């Protein structure tokens, strides 16, 4: 069957020690059996490795940081679209999603650019600060947590928590603290990086298991692949993982997709206790950086997302291969200085 040609713009090209999902998403699209893709990379920094991976990314453009707001992003996308004729955009960072969600209708009407993103309400409801309420609403266990806005609140945490606790940033990063002094250290570090509030969550002993999943926005689970981290970096990122034979975990993910009518990709992070109970720690409202494992297991979630963005029906994946491993590796790209100068001065490469 002849593949359909399509231009897809992708963010999250920072394939570093704390990698973004962009490169794995692009690899999945390159593996598509339905699409012949031209990939347009959208970057925020001039040293994002994806800019220089010319076997994966056909053309790259810098875009304004999310803090610049929707108007700056829209203006830049108008220019990029005038050159590239973008069909679909896949944003891959939590911090940028609000801007893209706000622009989804405008981009479709004005330029014919499609996306398939969570709704504004879904994006807000699954925030770390709102996760306990989200869990109650959808019948999923969530460890007790609360927001704090000042280090002055730290001494009183013992009224609600026993140590250790998990200290979480507004968008990313989490650290386990065993005493108030460590909480203060992580509070200052995370608030400086991501702003307030900081989320304090009760630590649950067990093993971490994650799920990459995708929903059609109508209550149907299109796919779900569970994974256990086999090797974890000092940043808490999976450097190796294995797909699990865990029907209960897949059932929980499918239940959440159905109950929330989730639209698009997501990552669910759980702790499985020694008693076999699952506690939801976090919902990331986009594909994880390990999403290519799902492709290796027989479920191409990014391809399914593109199909749904284009308004096409997608049959849910019924199975996935268990016991498949992914192992990350570092690789030195040799880049001509002229390329770095070009992206730095012209904003495109």
What is the model's pLDDT at position 104?
97
Question: pLDDT confidence of 49, banded at 50, 70, 90?
Answer: very high
Beta strands in 85-237 (DSSP E): 88-90, 145-148, 165-168, 174-177, 198-202, 207-216, 221-232
d(C-alpha 42, C-alpha 13), whole Å = 8
Question: pLDDT confidence of 293, banded at 50, 70, 90?
Answer: very high
Q: What is the mean pLDDT of residues 281-299?
A: 97
* 212-269 residue pLDDT tens: 999 999 999 999 999 999 998 877 788 999 999 999 999 999 999 999 999 999 999 9
Paired sense of beta strands 198-202 and 207-216, if any: unpaired
Q: Is the pLDDT of residue 90 over 80?
A: yes
Q: How far is CA 325 from CA 50, 176, 206, 265, in A?
A: 23, 27, 21, 21
Q: What is the mean pLDDT of residues 28-36?
A: 97
**Is 144-202 assigned to CATH 3.30.1490.20?**
yes
Q: Is the pLDDT of residue 10 over 80?
A: yes
- Which of 254, 261, 154, 267 minimizes the C-alpha distance to 200? 154
Question: pLDDT confidence of 128, banded at 50, 70, 90?
Answer: confident
CATH architecture of 4-115+332-346: 3-Layer(aba) Sandwich (3.40)
What is the model's pLDDT at position 338?
96
Q: What is the location of CATH 3.40.50.20 in the chain? A: 4-115+332-346
Which residues 6+ apart lie within 8 Å of 201 measured at CB? 128, 143, 144, 145, 165, 166, 168, 281
Q: Which of 13-27, 76-90, 166-180 has the highest mean pLDDT?
A: 76-90
Q: What is the location of CATH 3.30.1490.20 in the chain? A: 144-202
Question: Half-sphere exposure (CA, 13 Å, Cβ side) for 290?
Answer: 33
Least confident of 177-181, 191-195, 299-303: 191-195
DSSP string, 137-176: HHT-----EEEE-SGGGSGGGGGT--SSEEEE-SSS-EEE
| Residue tagged 């306990």 (tokens) | 132
89 burial (CB, 10 Å; 0-12 / 13-18 / 19+) is buried
Q: Is the pLDDT of residue 30 over 90?
A: yes
Q: What is the pTM of this model?
A: 0.92
Question: pLDDT confidence of 129, banded at 50, 70, 90?
Answer: confident
Question: pLDDT confidence of 18, banded at 50, 70, 90?
Answer: confident
Q: Is the pLDDT of residue 172 over 80?
A: no
Q: Is the pLDDT of residue 45 over 90?
A: yes
DSSP 298: T
What is the model's pLDDT at position 171?
79
Q: Edge to edge, what strands does the sheet with 198-202 contain?
A: 145-148, 198-202, 165-168, 174-177
3-state helix, strand, coil in the chain (%, to 5): 35, 25, 40
């Amino acid at each position: 069957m002849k593949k359909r040609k399509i231009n897809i713009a992708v963010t999250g090209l920072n394939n570093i020690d704390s990698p973004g999902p962009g490169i794995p998403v692009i690899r999945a699209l390159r593996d598509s059996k339905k699409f012949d893709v031209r990939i347009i990379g959208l970057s925020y920094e001039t040293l994002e490795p994806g800019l220089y991976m010319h076997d994966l990314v056909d053309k790259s453009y810098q875009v304004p940081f999310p803090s610049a707001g929707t108007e700056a992003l829209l203006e830049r996308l108008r220019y990029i679209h005038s050159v590239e004729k973008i069909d679909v955009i896949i944003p891959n960072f939590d911090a940028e999603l609000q801007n893209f969600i706000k622009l989804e209708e405008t981009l479709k009407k004005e330029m014919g650019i499609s996306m398939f993103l969570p709704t504004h309400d879904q994006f807000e409801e699954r925030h770390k600060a709102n996760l306990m309420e989200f869990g109650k609403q959808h019948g999923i266990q969530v460890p007790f947590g609360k927001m704090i806005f000042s280090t002055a609140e730290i001494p009183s945490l013992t009224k609600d928590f026993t140590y250790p606790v998990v200290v979480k940033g507004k968008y990313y990063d989490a650290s386990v603290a065993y005493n108030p002094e460590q909480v203060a250290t992580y509070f200052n570090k995370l608030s400086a990086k991501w702003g307030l509030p900081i989320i304090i969550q009760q630590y649950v002993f067990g093993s971490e298991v994650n799920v990459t999943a995708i929903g059609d926005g109508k209550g149907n689970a299109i796919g779900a692949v569970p994974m256990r981290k086999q090797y974890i970096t000092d940043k808490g990122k999976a450097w190796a993982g294995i797909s699990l034979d865990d029907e209960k975990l897949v059932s929980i993910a499918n239940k959440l997709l159905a109950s929330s009518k989730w639209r698009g990709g997501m990552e669910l992070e759980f702790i499985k206790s020694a008693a076999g109970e699952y506690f939801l720690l976090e919902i990331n409202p986009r594909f994880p950086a390990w999403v290519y494992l799902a492709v290796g297991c027989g479920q191409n979630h990014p391809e399914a997302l593109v199909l749904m963005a284009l308004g096409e029906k997608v049959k849910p994946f019924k199975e996935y291969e268990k016991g498949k491993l992914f192992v990350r590796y570092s690789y030195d790209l040799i880049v001509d200085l002229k390329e770095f100068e070009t992206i730095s001065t012209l904003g495109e490469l």
